[in-house]
Structure 1
Amino acid sequence: MTTHATGTREEWLAARIKLLEAEKALTRHGDELVRQRQALPWVRVDRDYRFETENGPATLIDLFDGRSQLLVYHFMFGPDYKAGCPSCSSIADSFNGVHVHLANHDVTLTAVSRASIDKLQGYKRRMGWTFPWASSADSSFNFDFNVSFTEMQQRDGEIEYNYVRGRHAMDMEPAPAPVKAFADTCGTDAKTYARDRPGITAFVLEDGAVYHTYSTYARGVDAVWGMYQWLDRAPLGRNETGVWWKRHDEYAPR
């Protein structure tokens, strides 16, 4: 027999209506956050960033692909990784369907990573993905937007991530178990793995100039992590005691 609270349909409905008010308040608060996000001042990007794509060399303007807005997902795939981060991979599983709709609403969605374009394309084929993915291997792009760090920054505790400078959870000694486990699945060590971090950055193109409008990191990426939005509505919620997810081709058949 269940240990969870049970009740009549009438009791459930009364509790659900009470919860609905809290959900509506959260929705209204979210709408206000969106307005505040869009009201942030824009910062002009004057650096000439260069990328490699499946179609050849590209500038930051080229990544817009003829649209006025660009959303970049900073995918953890460092130059020494053998495979992409499992967490970023589970997030990116939703991009195939989303990027088509965004492209028809004047927004380009692309992933950017420091691994070579050959590695990215090989992994993309393995995962069955179709969304754009650019390599910033020969660019300071990742470092300038605070999602990649040097060995010296890591050693000296001078990493600035999620708007905080210092040592972060991923930089702990010894490495936290999840970081070590993820590093192993990427074919690298924990320190190398932790020199790349996840994030989302938004840009706008206006009158030939590119402006940086928004960036979010760490738990700020949760909003686009599709499986968690569903789990938060499931009866048992996230129901996790540790890392349970894998790349989608690594689960046992069910």
Structure 2
Amino acid sequence: MTTPTIATRDTWLAARLELLAAEKELTRRSDEIARLRRALPRVRVDKAYRFDTATGSASLADLFAGRSQLLVYHFMFGPDYSAGCPSCSAIADGFDGFAVHLANHDVTLAAVSRAPLAKLLAYQRRMGWTFPWAAAAAGDFTADFNVAFTEQQQRDGDIVYNYRRSGHAMDAAAVPEPVACSAAACGTDAATYMRDRPGMSAFVREGAEIYHTYSTYARGLDGLWGMYAWLDRAPLGRNETGIWWRRHDEYDAR
């Protein structure tokens, strides 16, 4: 990491104004990308997906909760996990705070995972969350949106994630340390852990029809991970060399 110089206020201000110009350009570019995102073609959802929820069996239309837009966070919580993914948990820590604002702007935010509903609800209680969370273990939803894969796909290297095909089988002897760390935190092995992946998908309802409008994965989720927006503005930045974060109830008191 580059060590900043020590300077006068005037020198700092000159450098800050130069940075401000770059930030404004980034904001304009971000606005343009958001426009392009909204302009993507829509794909009609023809499958009758079903989910288990706290209020019973639900369709995809039910997940909208009466609103016209639905944002789904594909939360990594596989059937064999003992707890939700720590990274997804860090992202989800922010959901309750802004879900009420989205709800009052005709947008429903919900999480979907493959774990049984009882596991999801127990973990939700542990974390103190209230956002809606649906279980999709029995259907094709998670596979169709490229966030869940089979053992056979792993063995064959036939996994398409983040719009790319992996092309190689998973090597258990060469598991990256962050993956092994996260898998252990979920009470499972790396291969089982990696059969689920994170992502988010957006849908819109027009009359009786539902359309898929957008999905993003991997680093595309950075913008939803609230702590990083703050760390990117902190003096030392992200300043990380591996998986340093924990579930919010696992930190030592500070």
TM-score bin (small chain): over 0.9
TM-score scaled by length of structure 1: 0.97
- Are residue 44 (structure 1) and residue 44 (structure 2) matched? yes
2:250 paired with 1:250: yes
Give the Cα–Cα distance (whole angstroms) in 2 for the partners of residues 202 and 4 of structure 1: 41
> Which residue number in structure 2 is paired with residue 11 of structure 1?
11
Corresponding residue for residue 61 of structure 2:
61
Name 1:203's counterpart in structure 2: 203
**2:73 is matched with which residue?**
73
The aligned counterpart of 1:150 is 150
Q: CA RMSD in A?
A: 1.1
Corresponding residue SS for 1:26: helix
Name the structure 2 match of 1:118.
Answer: 118
Corresponding residue of 1:216: 216
Match of 1:86 in 2: 86
Checking the alignment, whether the CA contact within 8 Å between 1:50 and 1:136 is kept in structure 2 is: yes
| Pairs aligned (count) | 251
Contact 2:69 2:106 in 1 (8 A): yes
Partner of 1:228: 228
Instruction: Please report how far the alpha carbon of residue 4 of structure 1 lies from its aligned counterpart in structure 2 after TM superposition.
Output: 3.0
> What percentage of residue pairs aligned between the two structures are identical?
67
Q: Deviations over 1:5-64 (max 9, x none)?
A: 010000001100010000000000000001100000000000000000000100000000
The one-letter amino acid of 2:183's match is A
Distance apart, 1:132 and its partner CA: 0.6
Residue number in structure 2 paired with 1:240: 240
Aligned residue type for 1:58:
A
With the length of structure 2 as denominator, give the TM-score of the two structures: 0.97
Contact 1:171 1:194 in 2 (8 A): no
Contact map agreement 1:183 1:190 (CA 8 A) in 2: yes
Provide the rounded CA distance (Å) in 1 between the counterparts of 2:241 and 2:232.
15
> Deviation at 1:96?
0.8
**Structure 1: stretches of 5+ with no match in the other structure:** none
Deviation string, structure 1 residues 179-238 (Cα, Å, up to 9, x no partner): 111111111110000000000100000021000000000000010001000000000000
